[in-house]
Amino acid sequence: MSDFSDTAKLLIDDKEIELNVYTGVEGDRAIDVTSLYKDHKLTTYDPSLGNTAICRSSITYIDGERGVLRYRGIPIEQFNRSKPNFIEVAWALIFGRLPDHEELGYFHDALTDNELLHEGLRNQFMALPVDAPPMAILSAMISMMACYHKEFLQLEDETSLLGAAARLISKVRTIAAFTHRRSAGLPFIYPDPNLRYCANFLHMMFSLPYKQFEVSEEMEDALNLVLILHADHEQNCSASAVRVVCSAQANLFASCSAGVNALWGPLHGGANVKVMEMLEMIYRGGHRPEECIAAAKDKNNQFRLFGFGHRVYRNYDPRAKILKTACDRLFSKLKHKDPLLDVARKLEELALRDPYFIERKLYPNVDFYSGILLRAMGIPTNMFTVMFAIGRLPGWIAQWKEQHFADGAKIIRPRQLYVGNPKSDYIEIEKR
């Protein structure tokens, strides 16, 4: 840990405890409580860890108040360029800087060389139910990669990490496409080594044995952008799950499988499916957007306005802004229309002028518009969270690498506040 920049004083039991204060690159400050229990038998209480920095990280920076998101210091808006490239962003997140031509070429080749599934892994895939939840398939298959790629269970240098990363990033795309094809009763379409990452995915999803799916540049660019916008987001729920599992010195496959399972939750990555169900319910079910807003505000109603609100952003999620304009761009180029986009816009308009949402600083998040873009590409709703996982995988790998190689990294093991029974005796069953 670098030198601390300041100190804080904690007064308890008439005792003054001096604590170090560290300052991050952007002025974010953290009080160091690492010795609080050892020296004072005190813990801090922060159940959802919303006030707790669990690591020092140089991967992604978010300023929630200002709606700022940067990957390795680069503002997210700068990746919204004419030819967005998910693979170069994946490299930057994992290795700390944008790749040069040679590195990018090498990475593309490594992804191409690792597109296929080991036949044993493919047989495991075929044993899963056809209608199994796609996220269950993905987490199971990533975990099973530890059985078929045992040479990557120990990663002690960047070369072996690159090998494992290439296998994961390439194969999750194949697993996702095969999952869709099998559930739709379609034959598998194998990767085409001449296609780049996103074009190859769309080819595997939508080509037919007798008819190659023509991937338009607009659609390939849109998918690169969607995956870039999902690539990392500092210590979100799934990235923290990856770090916790990694901290026990578990392998990369086990840690990323844990990330998939955390992402599956509807409060996290699963929200993009819930957003589409919500928009469909309004559009097809004859519910008015105003009813949705009212239900979301009703404390007696479980319903939430999915795609709205965020633990960190107290401003518009910059990713949602980019996705919203990307919808317009793709729709006009493909001459595509989707009534759900109009419903989403109406919901956003109503929420952004409603005191309930204004007071709580609830804005659209990454999940609010992403599904509409994926739907325009023909990707079925039940695959949306898998698409989030494909995008987030480089971020999980980067977080795993930072945790695994961090100086002095220890197992992550929080404490608790015990509120259970005081000491009590065993009671024989006859006396209960």
**The one among 138, 177, 362, 372 contacting ligand SDX by CB under 6 A:** 362
Looking at the Cβ atoms of 70 and 118, the one nearer to ligand SDX is 70
Contact 366, 323 (CB under 8 A): yes
Minimum CB distance to ligand SDX, residue 189 (Å): 30
Looking at the Cβ atoms of 95 and 306, the one nearer to ligand SDX is 306
Instruction: Name residues whose C-beta falls within 8 Å of residue 302's C-beta, 6 or more positions apart in sequence.
Output: none
Check 203, 354, 367, 404 and give the catalytic one: 367
Gap between the Cα atoms of 390 and 357, Å rounded: 31
**The one among 366, 374, 389, 398 contacting ligand SDX by CB under 6 A:** 366
Annotation says 404 is catalytic: no
Residues 296-315 that bind ligand SDX (CB under 6 A): 296, 304-312
Check 230, 310, 317, 404 and give the catalytic one: 310
Minimum CB distance to ligand SDX, residue 202 (Å): 23
Looking at the Cβ atoms of 206 and 357, the one nearer to ligand SDX is 357
Looking at the Cβ atoms of 179 and 236, the one nearer to ligand SDX is 236
Looking at the Cβ atoms of 118 and 311, the one nearer to ligand SDX is 311
Looking at the Cβ atoms of 178 and 264, the one nearer to ligand SDX is 264
**By the rule CB under 6 A, 122 interacts with ligand SDX:** no
Site string for ligand SDX, 54-93 (x = CB under 6 A): ----------------------------------------
**By the rule CB under 6 A, 365 interacts with ligand SDX:** yes
Gap between the Cα atoms of 240 and 238, Å rounded: 5
Gap between the Cα atoms of 179 and 48, Å rounded: 34
Gap between the Cα atoms of 128 and 305, Å rounded: 33
**By the rule CB under 6 A, 329 interacts with ligand SDX:** no
Annotation says 232 is catalytic: no
Instruction: Give the CA-trace dihedral at 197, 198, 204, 206, to 10 degrees.
Output: -160
Cβ neighbour number for residue 195 with a 10 Å cutoff: 18
Residues 201-240 that bind ligand SDX (CB under 6 A): 233, 236-237
Gap between the Cα atoms of 239 and 85, Å rounded: 22
Instruction: Name residues whose C-beta falls within 8 Å of residue 244's C-beta, 6 or more positions apart in sequence.
Output: 258, 412
Site string for ligand SDX, 239-268 (x = CB under 6 A): ----------------------------xx
Listed in order, strand segments (DSSP E) in 2-65 are: 6-12, 15-23, 29-31, 60-63
**By the rule CB under 6 A, 367 interacts with ligand SDX:** yes
- Compute how many residues bind ligand SDX; rule: CB under 6 A: 22
Contact 141, 179 (CB under 8 A): no
Gap between the Cα atoms of 252 and 180, Å rounded: 25
**By the rule CB under 6 A, 387 interacts with ligand SDX:** no
Gap between the Cα atoms of 349 and 355, Å rounded: 12
Buried b (16+ CB within 10 A) or exposed e, 339-358: ebbebbebbbebbeebeebe
Catalytic residue ranges: 310, 367
Residues in contact with ligand SDX by the rule CB under 6 A: 233, 236-237, 267-269, 271, 296, 304-312, 360, 362, 365-367
